Amino acid sequence: MPILLSAYEAPEDKEDIFAKKACPAFLAFESAAYLEDMTIELPCRCKPEEAHSVVWYYQKHLGSNKTRVLTDFDGTSVVDSSQVGHGTVLRSRFSIRLFSLLIFRAQEADTGHYVCGTSSGQFFYGYDVDVQQARRISFHQKPGVPAPKHKQPARIGRLGPYQVFTSFWPWSVCDRCGVRGEQTRVGLCYLQSDYLHVRYMRSSPGVAPCGSSAVPHRFRLGRGEKGAELAVRGCHYPCPPEPAVNVERKTLMEFLGYDEVASRVPVYYHNHPVDSPLVLACPGAKPHYAVAWDRGQVPLYRAQYMEGLNKTARVYIDAGHHLHFRPVKLTDKGSYHCWLQGKLAAEIRLGVYLRLGRQRQLSDPESTYALQAIFLCYAAYTLLFLLFLVLRFSWKCLKGKLA
């Protein structure tokens, strides 16, 4: 089912980057923070030229005896995100592509150390990953009204040996063009201190993600003191002008019934059993991309479909921009469009079918449709029969009068 696979684009540059970058003599860890439900990529930034395959190791805590080996020696792992749920273990959510480790729908429990190496015990490069759950979601849905500005950084921790703040990404681009869209902004929890472990590489000196192992154990925050934020606001952005097209060709395509704009959008097909969970991922989406979903021509705005707004919602969008069905119903079949960076990116035509051996119920839409069709046919035949009787009776009366 390729439409549900999170897309991975191979780099166009054919130059061997491993020939230029030597691996460090002392294994250090690059600190990184992500929002839960994002699909993240950890590139193996260095390796010897003679190493033609890599193994990834995972440890929750450095030096622990519990180590998971993530390998695809038996064939590149292909992950179907439609089967990935919140409780799915890490082993069924990873894939190795061109030496990079991809983790689909990263969860808070995936926080820890990831090391790129070989099966013989060589280690090349390491990451200290902190996956943060969105503890707060704010909405500013009125178009043209900007969201309140957040202080940079927003201090929320106590003074002393460390301070805690939320660092916000820039606002994303408008996720739709030509119609009302939405922008999102991710805020991640960071800790600033002069006492962080030196083994962890950080983009800013003295700053590390709140859940990073670079933070000394005595500074560790409680569950309620850390977490990410997600802000959403309305936007409206005009579509860029279409490139010049041949008028004669456009007229011919319109005469033949083809929509050139729609034909440029790739179409994917997927059939799914009824009453089972489904997750749709927009092909080509990356963590920092703006993603939007439409059902047919109806936009699915986060203000109504964001995960957590309605505890009983069956259809919702998570923080990683995946569209969830919990579970799929027969009425969900149809066309779904996803947008990337403000442009229409793909159309997913979802078909829903009944499982073999499942008993039909009168409440099923297909059963209702079948009963309506039978009733209409019966009514039509009844009317034709009555019309035939009336015409026959009228003909006999007319024939008797003429005689």
Tens of pLDDT along 125-150? 999 999 999 988 888 755 444 444 44
Question: What fold, for 1-132?
Answer: Immunoglobulin-like (2.60.40)
CATH 2.60.40.10 location in the chain: 1-132, 247-353
CA–CA gap between residue 301 and residue 393 (Å, rounded)? 62
* Other CB atoms within 10 Å distance of the CB of residue 348: 22
CA–CA gap between residue 229 and residue 275 (Å, rounded)? 32
Enter the tokens of residue 16: 């061997």
Enter the tokens of residue 363: 């409440």
Question: What confidence category does residue 367 fall into, taking pLDDT thresholds of 50, 70 and 90?
Answer: low
Tens of pLDDT along 83-112? 445 545 566 678 888 888 988 889 999 999
What residue has token string 């936009």?
299
C-alpha distances (whole Å) from 22 to each of 45, 198, 318 are 9, 20, 39
CA–CA gap between residue 40 and residue 56 (Å, rounded)? 14
CA–CA gap between residue 349 and residue 122 (Å, rounded)? 46
Model pTM score? 0.71
Instruction: Please check whether the domain covering 247-353 is classified as CATH 2.60.40.10.
Output: yes
State whether the Cα torsion 107-110-111-115 is positive or negative.
negative
DSSP state at residue 12 = S
Tens of pLDDT along 149-169? 443 444 444 556 889 999 999
| Amino acid letter, residue 226 | K
- Are 59 and 230 in contact by the 8 Å Cβ rule? The answer is no
The better pLDDT of the pair 114, 22 is held by: 114
